Amino acid sequence: MSQSSIAEEYCPISGDLYVAWDKKNQKMVCNQCIYKEIESVEQAFEQLTFTSYVASDLKDLFDEKFAAYKNSLQKMNQIAPQQIQQQLESTVNLFFETID
């Protein structure tokens, strides 16, 4: 991880880690900024997306895509080499039959 990306994870005002994305102001915010800028819990739920939720959503998406990938690998393993050979032979034979 580069030094600049580490610095970007901390609030320049408080020095605390960012914990949420402020959708209204289009910026990352730390707990202290939330405490100073957000007036109610309802406003926080409307205006903020907490990074833990984003990470959780990304993990769920990764798990879903990885499961699909593993499933496709299992399907590929079920195809016997003889089936592939027969398919190729019939395709080549059909090709040469159409040329004649």
Q: What average pLDDT does this structure show over 14-18?
A: 90
Residue 1's pLDDT band, with cuts at 50, 70 and 90, is very low
- Mean of the per-residue pLDDT values for the chain? 84
Residue recorded with tokens 């409307």: 46
Number of independent structural domains in the chain: 1
Tokens for 48, please give them: 């903020």
Q: Supply the range of the domain harboring residue 45.
A: 3-99
Residue 30: exposure state from Cβ atoms within 10 A (0-12, 13-18, ≥19): buried
pLDDT in tens, 23-53: 988 999 988 988 888 888 888 888 898 888 8
